[in-house]
Structure 1
Amino acid sequence: MVLVLCSSAVAGCLSNSDEMQNISLDVDYEHTNGTIVHYYVDGELESATNVVLDFDFSNTDSVNSLSLFGVESVERQETITVDALAESIVSVEFSSHEMYTVKAFAVDNQGLEETIEIVVRIELRMEWFESNTYEPIPLIIDPIPVHGGASPDTIHIHSTVENPELIAGREVEFTWSLVDGNEDACQVRNGLVHDGEFVDWETLHFNTFQVHELKINYDAGQDYINIDQTVLIAYSALESEPTKVTE
């Protein structure tokens, strides 16, 4: 009986000691997905808007003084930290599409660390504009994740060819084609756009393992054409649920 009581007491002491050392890690984040936007004019990249996600550690608590808050991007092998005594928000910027795993962590002044994993979905949208052209430039679509993660789900394409209205203008014949890395045309569509009108093509493509080119071939006509295209490289919605809902 004495042995049993002593053992219980020792076990209880160890449990209380462990609890006294624990960090109560509480990380809030409103978003776990975002879309990078690349804006092209006449084949040149004019601007790139990256995604920045904030991770808020302000509700994290510890018996010992906290020294660091940080977020590690596993795929990029990159870690961002802030002084826990001065800041509570860690901002992480994403410049390439991918499904990312990030580890949010807190470290106290005794070196104790607590970590949670968060899955983040980052997609890419390309906005492409050309004006007054007979020779449209191919739009390169690279769906391959830079850091070797899971492939995207689909490529969404919305392409518009406009034939601006002119005096004595004529129709223009052209061909859309989506060409893979082997120079094989995966999808083809013929188009005819009359003077002062426009024609749309919307399609989905599921081969996300190769670089593709979206081409518009000017087949016949004499009028310049304008091109307005949007391409979205999209992933399945497998990201972690946000902890905070934006009102």
Structure 2
Amino acid sequence: SSTVAPASALLSGLVVKPPAYLILRLWLEVFPKNMSLEYLSWVLGTLGALAVVFGSYYAIRQKTIKMLLAYSTVAQMGYLFLMVPIYYQAQVLHVKTMVLEGFALQALSHALAKASMFLSSGNAMYVARRDELSYMPGFAHSHPFTFFALFFSGATLIGLPLSGGFVAKFLLLKASIQTGFVFQGVIFLIGSLLAAMYVYPIWKESFSSHPKKLYDQPIPRLMELSAFILGFVAFSIGLVSGFLLQGIAGKD
């Protein structure tokens, strides 16, 4: 949590994804199926569910932005492992494809959204010199680009309609229902509700009608635009998901 914002954006957005990808594509496709791997897939799915619930719980309890985002990364990564048993035990090709599509969209939208949120939190710290949520009142009035970056990226993490996170979670939820994995489907829904609970305080504080005087300090335009563009693209993935998924299906 003490890492500077750009480094946190890279670590959270990119570095944590490859292990999940390797497990899904190598371990579940290259290695032959056996009972041990089936049990391990359930272990990974259970750990993913715990990550979603407890990562979200600790994110809700945080008073600083960067710690909140760090725990939310744990929760969002839990989705990628939660779907391992669904993919491993799916008997129909289109369900496996659906899981892979959901994985790809979840990984991409989370990487962009979380990078945007870390950069936005860095912008807030640049002005306030503090990391506490209590130092964000009125931030939307003085720095709207940073606020909208937080809005678009937060909406993506929650999975609000039209966002990349919504399409990803919808695909994973649909795959879990079609394969009879009700537990995973429930966790997907609970995770979205919990995400709303830790994202909403950021929005609420930012849109307070009592801005702090220290927010008169300007933020360099490049810093604001980089966070805004990443957040907007993360949200817009949902609008162009059909085109992106055609590319994924073509490669498979």
Larger radius of gyration: 1
Which structure shows the bigger proportion of residues in helix conformation?
A: 2
Answer whether TM exceeds 0.5 for this pair.
Answer: no
Q: With the length of structure 1 as denominator, give the TM-score of the two structures.
A: 0.23
Q: With the length of structure 2 as denominator, give the TM-score of the two structures.
A: 0.23
Which structure shows the bigger proportion of residues in strand conformation?
A: 1
